[in-house]
Structure 1
Amino acid sequence: MSSADPRIDFATGARLRVWSRIWRYLLVVLLSVIGWFGVYGLFAIAVDEGTAADSTQFWVLSLVDPVIWLIAMGLLPFRRRIPATVAVTASLLSAFSVMAATGPAQLAVASNATHRRWRSIIASIVTGVVAATLYNRFVPTGYVEETPWWIDVLGAAVGFALPAVFGLYIGARRALIASLHDRALEAERERELQIAAAEAGERTRIAREMHDVLAHRISLVAMHAGALAYRDDLTRDQVRGTAVLVQENSRRALAELRQVLGVLRADGAEGIEPPQPTLETLPTLIDEARAAGAVVDASGSVAGEAPELVSRTAFRIVQEALTNARKHAPGAPIRVRVDGHAGGLLAVEVTNGAARAGAAAIPGSGMGLAGLAERVELVGGTLEYGPDGKGGFAVRAWLPWEECDE
């Protein structure tokens, strides 16, 4: 969802559909025609029946009325850009045209009210009431009895207040939809921030582990290498012993670097956690899942022993996928497949079917897969997850498996 979604633009009134524009103008034309016949048509009937005196001035006004109406209609396309000006102007024209009063002025007042600015709403209504009252008082038809002025004012007030109320309702509805849309966008932004925070937390833990595990060994390597470079009083045996120490600590540093994800410091705990499990302990993980009631089908073939960092990442992928399956699709069958060989890729795929009917899903934070993606990216792999198109969910990863020279 985005602010440029056409559905939101239409729902909030930012844009109008073609039919929405057409029916508004058709309604305006219909009301205007009814208003014209309601005054001039009935006057013609009254003259023909002899109940009203013929008036040349009145017939001239009947021809001028549509001209003023056309001017009012020409203002309507600008009602969304300058709503208050159009509403007040169209209402003023009601003093000279019954067609403008019953058609364009009504739409202009309603459109202005959707913006919910009370000063312009009251100004347009008052202007319309005064203009319509002046028309009724100074352009008498002569075929009905003259009514008290307050009845004319009351009728005009009702005639202009009704479209204003309708416009206020539309404006409130549009504002509600816009507010809900903004909340949805804000929720999306918060979700992105949570994922970013999870990734940042994962990077922080990795950096902290690298410092804890590697700093000591690298410092030993640097110290002994410096001794070899600057001390010329060492015997051959001392030089050989120092070189062995440099070699040994370098190898240990490389081994511990491969285990970097498995020795993360626990928050608030002293020391360093023991190495995390690898693919060698995957059967135990699957047996534990089965013991908990899950139906797990494990398959695949791993030729050789994968590097510890890759192996540990693969284990975490399977562990997280099994956890998500238990949370979101309890009772669904799970299929685990791990394939790979040295010099190629280690492929991990975990899929689960749809949740069993009546099973209650456990809500999750949604951060597990975000952290998993960070782990996979750190080993240079690729992670994909999402619906599998069959009502279930799939997690797939491809991890590079380089041949080891050790």
Structure 2
Amino acid sequence: MDGVRPRPVDAVAVLVAGGLTLATGYSGPVLVILLAAALPVLWMRRAPLAVAWISAGTAILMLVLYVLAPTVVPLPSDVLVWPPTCAFAAYGAMAFAAERGVLQWLPVIVLALAALFLADWLPLVLRTETAIAFAALYGRYTAVRDRLRRELDERSERVERERLAGEMHDVVTHRVSRMVLQAGVLAGAAGDERARAAAEELRATGCEALDELRHMVALLRRGTGEGFDLGLPLPDLRPLITESARAGVPAELVVIGTPVPMSGVVGRTAYLVVQETLTNVRKHAPGADVRVRVRYLRGVVRIGIHNSPGLPDAWVAATAPGMGLLDLRQRVEVAGGTLETREDDDGGFLVEATLPTS
């Protein structure tokens, strides 16, 4: 829903309802009552249930007047629908009213029952009931469509916020973690007490910075007052396979098991492992055969990249500097996983990362 203020289409609805009212052939006070009931249609977005009850009340009032003074207030027989505002009232109640269960449907039901009292004019009853049913169903469709659109927009915003928070967490945490590790090494190796104290203070400050960073990222990941993790699937690895083939190192992708949702940090880390490992293969083993295997196990996803020995004279495209295995292992550990590397007996090399999906 795009707001509660009246729009030009609402003014058109009022004119149509007024035209249908004039087509009833009434005059005098009765016509004034019916036109007054058509005017609130302009505010069916702001107060949809009130507008629906006004229309239902008007239908009941006309039936009562018809019973009390049938010669003064004759009911119509040749108009399109009765009352003239019934379709707009039913649509507004279904499309714009908040989900209230029976309260939302009650004025529509009253309108439908009121039309049944026109049993002497069966074609009018059928037209009216059809119009009310169609308007109510279309109103429900509009409400569901608008709700889904809002949810998709909110989800897109959350995805973007999750991505930005994750990128900040990955980049800054990686750098600060290296500083903390280096400070710890310096504190253990320093011979001077003052240098050791300074290094230890630097390490402690870095740890505090990591804690504050995690707190800030948690705040960025908050939606409506609660922390969230969208649980996105593993990023598509096929572009990396295609890029590797274009660079001169064909690779095969094998997926075993059923993909499951995982956190954004784990997904980006898995993507990074494959990307950096393929880059290292192009640098250190050109011409090698590469196999990327993604295996989904209970609670974890295991990503293995195995390459055969390279060919020294093989052609590969120029490769940008990649990430070393030590840095890659630190990134995997930050995501809560482990990284294993080993050389095969035949001269090939295997990089295997195990990351949690829970």
TM-score (norm: length of structure 2): 0.42
Structure whose alpha-carbon radius of gyration is higher: 1
- Name whichever structure is richer in helix by fraction: 1
